[in-house]
């Protein structure tokens, strides 16, 4: 049987909306006259000691450590696309926001020699994305990251990054490969496994019987 | 092959008892080998009976045993050597003494045997899950991974790769191999449909054995020595027989991959649907791999009564037409399905008996041909199917390129000689005795009923999948569905009635033919039918003699079908 909840009987004074309204004004006024700085805006408010609010968007909020912003693709330091279109992020994405078009056999050659594969298109529907970070976690190539850059000053271009994810229609909110790569920027790849592999293969003593002349690209 | 041995096999199967993981299991003494001959049962098969599948790469039930990957190493215990009295050593209680196998020169080290090529011995004990066996597997797997490139993110086999599966079960997270890996040729064009990545190969030789023993084209071999071992074709001979893509299925790793499927889609996204190949009369069982209404590949589905685990390349790659842009998707001649069916039924009801001819293509399903036959009986129509012939071979390809010509004969649409009544129909149209023509899935202009004859008709109802000369002349064009887009049954040339399932949705307003044929038949004949495929099939099975003899029902067809007398 459902439990019956006893409601507190309110007096006439409490049932009027004036007291709550006045309470609200008190809070606003309290902040307005406050001399305490907010911890969150501390960094931005070095110059103005008494300010508790930000002049957004001219002033930007400093993103705390571990903030999970929008997922973007990254290039390595040589400017090559790191994604190899393995589609693990597409598989793991809980709201199915990611959609990858694999290159097929006739697709563009991967930027990095030996990596063989690169996505023809990479879509992230930012309206669907729940910023869980599974894609970053699952990526075997370290090619996708949730942006959490720290901004120095206002930059119109950078304004569109992470927490200020805006758009005026649905199509605009589906980010394609080029846009994702542009916003993702460069990630410093310390291992460079494909380059290392190709280098090792070249340095290897000659292979006894090779079939290089029958390579698929010929 | 398989059928013969089934009939020859003794009624009572001789069995023996062995112990797997300490549990006694009764297994048959003899098991069929790849050719269907009865040979002694092996350790691997006994473990399978016991429900403990031993990992393996080179062993395949339909290929000769090679025993070269060593993955199926297991630790076993054997009865001791016969004593001076001619009897094996026994325990104190009189039972047979079983000694775990050890190395002869190092008696504290357990010795493994390869499960795929070791015959069972009465009393044998198989320690399939013991720590010794696990250690052997780990060591073998580590050695197989020595030169493996570990490029799973770009490998098409990822997701259905035995190397991945066994690595997660028996592998180690780090390799103790500190030296440089040997780099082998990558992206090698082995043939018109196959790409070889030699680095990923574990040299199980399944592809070599398949080409040599099944496809009868001894095209592949291993070149170089030691860690430079590589699969190769001989000199510049291309690997281009009609069965090459089976090596892609056989390859337990990503060494041999299909060009057609290369970088198209990751396998874990593909929905598998049981279907049939419609490219010839053999009726190979297939699995359709599709994602979101796009078909990516056919794979053979094992059915020993029809195709075994194989299928031909030409059939496997013959699916591109299903997604073609110019597929028929709209009803023409009427404003929509409802009006088209009503108008056609009204015209057929008015038609004089004998003035209608029906062409039921042998690419239609049994159910559709049965409904067409029902219509023909009512209208006293002359019926036929168009023949399609092509090249056949000794393995799977059939010269009859219709998937259901046997069904057409059994149901009575066509006689023994497909297309023999076309001349009669053409004469009838010429003479004006035949004024209405219903065509399903055939281009009649290629079979003697040309466009000028079609112009003479009062009513031409055409249902097809792709546009052709006949569909362009149709008064009513009813867009149909490919076999991947509907359910139904085909009868193979050997009389195997098999069903297939729906994997995709038809384009636009296209509907499965049996659905609207059912409405048409109901309107015209006035008899009630079944609006489900199960009911329709069961009704047909009661009326068609050959199906009735076997008491066929949709359920009794199962996944592998039933053979009927043809």
Contact (CB<8Å) A140/B152: yes
Peptide bond into B550 cis (omega under 30): no
Taking residue B459's Cβ as centre, other Cβ atoms within 10 Å add up to: 20
Mean pLDDT of B288-293: 94
Is there a contact between B385 and B408 (Cβ–Cβ < 8 Å)? yes
List the single residue in A91, A141, A211 with the smallest CB-CB distance to B188: A211
Contact (CB<8Å) A208/B185: no
pLDDT tens, position by position, B169-202: 888 878 888 888 899 988 888 889 999 999 999 9
Q: Which residues of chain B have a CB within 8 Å of the CB of A140?
A: 152-153
Strands B459-464 and B125-127: unpaired
Greatest pairwise CA separation for chain B in angstroms: 99
**What pLDDT sits at residue A206?**
79
Average per-residue pLDDT for chain B = 91
Q: Single out the residue of B399, B379, B375 nearest to residue B387, CA to CA.
A: B399
List the single residue in A107, A140, A204 with the smallest CB-CB distance to B183: A204
- Where residue A35 falls among pLDDT bands split at 50, 70, 90? low
Q: State the smallest CA–CA distance between residue A85 and chain B in angstroms.
A: 7
pLDDT tens, position by position, A146-159: 886 544 444 555 54
Mean pLDDT of A21-44: 75
- pLDDT above 60 for B3: no
Instruction: Dig out the tokens for B349 from the structure.
Output: 């009801």
Decide which of A162 and A73 is more confident.
Answer: A73
Q: Which residues of chain B have a CB within 8 Å of the CB of A87?
A: 265-266, 269
**What pLDDT sits at residue B528?**
80
Sign of CA dihedral A138, A140, A144, A146: positive
Contact (CB<8Å) A214/B181: no
Mean pLDDT of A9-37: 84
Please state, for a pLDDT cut of 90, what percent of chain B lies above it. Answer: 78
Instruction: Dig out the tokens for B86 from the structure.
Output: 């001619």
pLDDT tens, position by position, B80-93: 888 888 888 888 88
Contact (CB<8Å) A211/B158: no
Q: Which residues of chain B have a CB within 8 Å of the CB of A103?
A: 263
CB pairs under 8 A between A and B: 84
Best A116, A144, A205, A217 residue to mutate vs chain B (most B CBs within 10 Å): A116
pLDDT tens, position by position, B12-42: 788 999 999 999 999 999 999 999 899 999 9
Contact (CB<8Å) A86/B266: yes
Mean pLDDT of A143-148: 85
Using H for helix, E for strand and C for coil, what is the string for B222-265? Answer: EECCHHHCEEEECCCCCCCCCCCHHHHHHCCCCCEEECCCCCCC
Question: Which segments of B178-335 are extended strands (E)?
Answer: 188-189, 194-196, 220-223, 230-233, 256-258, 271-276, 285-291, 294-300
What residues of chain B, 153 to 182, have a C-beta less than 8 Å from chain A? 153-154, 158, 180-182
**What pLDDT sits at residue A118?**
93
Q: In sequence order, what DSSP letters do the residues of B364-379 get, joined into one string? A: S-HHHHHHHHHHHHHH
Instruction: Dig out the tokens for A134 from the structure.
Output: 């599974």
Instruction: Dig out the tokens for A24 from the structure.
Output: 């609200």
**ipTM (interface pTM):** 0.84
Decide which of A216 and B265 is more confident.
Answer: B265
- Where residue A187 falls among pLDDT bands split at 50, 70, 90? confident
Length of chain B: 566
Q: State the smallest CA–CA distance between residue A191 and chain B in angstroms.
A: 15
Q: Single out the residue of B224, B257, B219, B251 nearest to residue B238, CA to CA.
A: B219
Contact (CB<8Å) B263/A208: no
Best A214, A217, A218 residue to mutate vs chain B (most B CBs within 10 Å): A214
pLDDT tens, position by position, B92-117: 888 888 989 999 898 889 999 999 99
Tell me if chain A has a CB within 8 Å of the CB of B149.
Answer: yes
Residues ≥6 apart with Cβ < 8 Å to A16 = none
Gap between the Cα atoms of B356 and B434, Å rounded: 6
């Amino acid at each position: 049987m459902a439990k019956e909840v006893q409601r507190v009987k309110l007096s006439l004074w409490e049932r009027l909306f004036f007291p709550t309204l006045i309470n609200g004004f008190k809070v606003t006024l309290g902040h307005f006259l406050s001399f305490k700085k907010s911890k969150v805006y501390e960094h931005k408010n070095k110059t103005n000691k008494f300010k508790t609010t930000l002049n957004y968007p001219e002033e930007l909020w400093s993103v705390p450590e571990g903030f999970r912003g929008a997922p973007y693709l990254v290039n390595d330091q040589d400017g090559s696309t790191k994604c190899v279109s393995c589609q693990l992020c597409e598989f793991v994405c809980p709201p199915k926001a990611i959609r990858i078009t694999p290159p097929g056999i006739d697709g563009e050659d991967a930027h990095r020699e030996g990596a063989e594969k690169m996505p023809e298109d990479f879509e992230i529907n930012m309206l669907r994305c729940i910023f869980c970070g599974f894609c970053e976690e699952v990526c075997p190539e370290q090619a996708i990251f949730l942006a959490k850059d720290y901004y120095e000053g206002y930059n119109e271009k950078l304004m569109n990054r992470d927490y200020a994810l805006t758009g005026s229609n649905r199509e605009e909110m589906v980010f394609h490969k080029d846009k994702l790569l542009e916003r993702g920027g460069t990630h410093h790849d310390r291992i460079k496994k494909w380059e290392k592999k190709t280098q090792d293969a070249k340095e290897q003593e000659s292979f006894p019987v090779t079939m290089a002349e029958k390579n698929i690209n010929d | 092959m398989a059928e013969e041995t089934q009939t020859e096999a003794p009624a009572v199967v001789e069995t023996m008892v062995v112990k797997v993981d300490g549990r006694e299991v009764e297994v048959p003494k003899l098991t069929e080998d790849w050719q269907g001959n009865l040979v002694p049962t092996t350790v691997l098969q006994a473990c399978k009976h016991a429900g403990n599948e031993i990992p393996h790469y080179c062993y395949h039930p339909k290929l000769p045993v090679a025993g070269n990957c060593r993955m199926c190493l297991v630790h076993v215990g054997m009865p001791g050597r016969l004593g001076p009295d001619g009897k094996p050593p026994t325990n104190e209680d009189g039972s047979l003494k079983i000694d775990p196998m050890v190395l002869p020169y190092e008696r504290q080290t357990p010795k493994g045997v390869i499960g795929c090529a070791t015959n069972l011995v009465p009393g044998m004990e198989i320690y399939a899950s013991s720590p010794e066996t696990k250690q052997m597997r780990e060591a073998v797997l580590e050695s197989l991974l020595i030169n493996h490139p570990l490029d799973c993110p770009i490998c098409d086999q990822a997701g259905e790769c035995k190397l991945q599966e066994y690595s997660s079960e028996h592998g180690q997270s780090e390799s103790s191999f500190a030296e440089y890996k040997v780099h082998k040729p990558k992206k090698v064009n082995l043939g018109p449909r196959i790409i070889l990545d030699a680095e990923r190969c574990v040299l199980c030789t399944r592809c070599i054995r398949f080409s040599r023993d099944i496809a009868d084209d001894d095209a592949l071999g291993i070149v170089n020595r030691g860690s430079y071992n590589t699969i190769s074709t001989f000199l510049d001979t291309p690997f281009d027989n009609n069965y090459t893509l089976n090596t892609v299925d056989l390859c337990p790793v990503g060494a041999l991959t299909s060009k057609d499927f290369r970088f198209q889609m990751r396998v874990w996204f593909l929905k598998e649907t049981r279907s049939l190949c419609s490219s010839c009369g053999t009726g190979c069982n297939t699995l359709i791999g599709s994602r979101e209404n796009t078909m990516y590949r056919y794979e053979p589905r094992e059915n020993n009564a029809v195709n075994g685990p194989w299928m031909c390349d030409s059939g496997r790659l013959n699916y591109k037409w299903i997604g073609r842009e110019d597929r028929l998707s709209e009803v023409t001649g009427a404003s929509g399905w409802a009006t088209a069916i009503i108008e056609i039924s009204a015209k057929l009801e008015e038609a004089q008996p004998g003035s209608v001819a029906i062409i039921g293509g042998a690419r239609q399903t049994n159910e559709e041909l049965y409904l067409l036959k029902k219509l023909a009986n009512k209208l006293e129509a002359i019926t036929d199917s168009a023949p399609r012939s092509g090249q056949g071979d000794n393995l799977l390809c059939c010269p009859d390129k219709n998937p259901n010509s046997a069904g057409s004969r059994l149901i009575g649409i066509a006689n023994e000689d497909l297309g023999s009544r076309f001349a009669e129909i053409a004469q009838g149209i010429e003479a004006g005795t035949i004024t209405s023509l219903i065509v399903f899935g055939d281009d009649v202009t290629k079979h003697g009923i040309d466009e000028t004859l079609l112009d003479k008709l009062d009513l031409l109802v055409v249902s097809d999948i792709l546009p052709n000369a006949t569909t362009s002349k149709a008064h009513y064009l009813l867009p149909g569905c490919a076999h991947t887009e509907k359910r139904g049954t085909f009868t193979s040339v050997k009389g195997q009635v098999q069903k297939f399932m729906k994997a995709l949705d038809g384009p636009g307003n296209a509907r499965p033919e049996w659905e609207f044929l059912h409405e048409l038949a109901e309107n015209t004949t006035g008899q009630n039918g079944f609006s489900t495929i199960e009911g329709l099939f069961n009704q047909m099975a009661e009326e068609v003699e050959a199906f009735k003899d076997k008491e066929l029902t949709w359920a009794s067809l199962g996944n592998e079908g039933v053979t009927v007398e043809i």
